[in-house]
Amino acid sequence: MSTWDGGPFDAAIIGGGIIGAGIARDLSLRGARVALVEKGDFGGGTTSGSTRLIHGGLRYLEMLDFGLVRMDLRERETLLRIAPHLVRPLEFRIPFVRQSAWFRFKMRVGLTLYDALSYDRSLPGHRFLGNAEALADEPSLTKDGLQGAGSYYDAQVRLPERLCLENLIDAANNGAVVRNYCEVVAANHDDGRVGSLRVRDGGTGEESELRARVFVNATGAWFDRVEKTLTGSPSRRLRTTKGIHLTCAPMVNKANVLFSPIDGRLFFVIPLMGKTWIGTTDTDYTEDPANVSAAEDDIEYLLHSVEPFFPDIRRLPIYSTNAGVRALVRRPGSESSVSRAHKVEETHPGMISVLGGKITGYRAIAEETADVVCQRIGITAPCRTADLRLPGGGPAPAGEFGALYGSRAAGVEALAATHGRIGAQAVFAARHEFCRHLDDFLLRRTEYAFSADMGASVALEALDALGAEFQWSPSQRDEEWQRFRAAAERAHSATASTLPASR
Which positions lie near ligand FAD, rule CB under 6 A? 14-20, 37-40, 44-47, 49-53, 183-184, 218-222, 226, 243, 280, 324-326, 357-360
Conformational region of residue 264, where left means phi above 0, alpha means psi within -120 to 50, and beta covers everything else:
left
Strand partners, 348: 351
**Using the 8-state DSSP alphabet, how is residue 452 labeled?**
T
Q: Which long-range contacts (CB under 8 A, 24 or more apart) does 184-192 make?
A: 184/14, 184/37, 184/39, 184/210, 184/226, 184/229, 184/230, 185/229, 186/229, 186/230, 187/215, 187/229, 187/230, 187/231, 192/349
Q: Nearest distance from residue 104's CB to ligand FAD, in Å?
A: 25
Residue 207 CB, nearest distance to ligand FAD (Å)?
13
Return the closest-CA partner of residue 207 out of 225, 185, 191. 185
Q: Give me the least distance between CB of 15 and ligand FAD, in Å please.
A: 3
Q: How far is the CB of 219 from ligand FAD (least distance, A)?
A: 4
Give 200 or 213: the residue with its C-beta nearer to ligand FAD: 200
Q: Which is nearer to ligand FAD, 321 or 407 (CB)?
A: 321
What is the helix (H) or strand (E) element at residue 35, kind and residue range?
strand 34-37
Among the listed residues 327, 369, 351, the one whose alpha carbon sits nearest the alpha carbon of residue 220: 327
DSSP one-letter code for 92: E
**77 or 183: CB nearest ligand FAD:** 183
How far apart (Å, rounded) are the C-alpha atoms in residues 85 and 201?
33
Q: How far is the CB of 18 from ligand FAD (least distance, A)?
A: 5
Nearer to ligand FAD, 291 or 457 (CB): 291
Smallest distance from ligand FAD to CB 99, Å: 24
Residue 356 CB, nearest approach to ligand FAD (Å): 7
Q: Shortest Cβ contact with ligand FAD: which residue?
A: 17
**Which one-letter amino acid corresponds to residue 29?**
L
Return the number of the residue (136 or 185) whose C-beta is nearest ligand FAD.
Answer: 185
**Which residue number, 50 or 140, has a Cβ lying nearer to ligand FAD?**
50
The least CB distance from residue 244 to ligand FAD, in Å, is 7
Question: Alpha-carbon distance 211 to 187, whole Å?
Answer: 10
Q: Which is nearer to ligand FAD, 50 or 385 (CB)?
A: 50
Q: How far apart are CA 503 and CA 500, in angstroms?
A: 7
Q: Which of 20, 37, 84 is nearest to 396 (CA)?
A: 84
H helix or E strand, kind and range, residue 112:
helix 101-117
484: alpha, beta or left? (left if phi > 0; alpha if psi -120 to 50): alpha
Q: How far apart are CA 431 and CA 435, in angstroms?
A: 8
Residue 423 C-beta: closest distance to ligand FAD, Å: 28
CA–CA separation, 52 and 155 (whole Å): 9
End-to-end CA distance of the chain: 38
Q: At residue 440, what are phi and psi to the nearest 5 degrees?
A: -60, -45
Write the DSSP string, 227-244. HHHHHSS----EEEEEEE
For 140, the 3-state DSSP assignment is: coil
Of residues 303 and 460, the one with the C-beta less far from ligand FAD = 303
CB of 359 to ligand FAD, least distance (A): 3
Q: Of the two residues 241 and 407, which places its CB atom closer to ligand FAD in the complex? A: 241
Give whichever of 271 and 420 is closer to ligand FAD, judged by the CB atom: 271
Contact status, residue 349 vs residue 192, Cβ threshold 8 Å: yes
CB-CB contact of 372 with 352 (8 Å) = yes
Q: Which is nearer to ligand FAD, 51 or 495 (CB)?
A: 51
- In whole angstroms, the minimum distance from the beta carbon of 55 to ligand FAD comes to 6
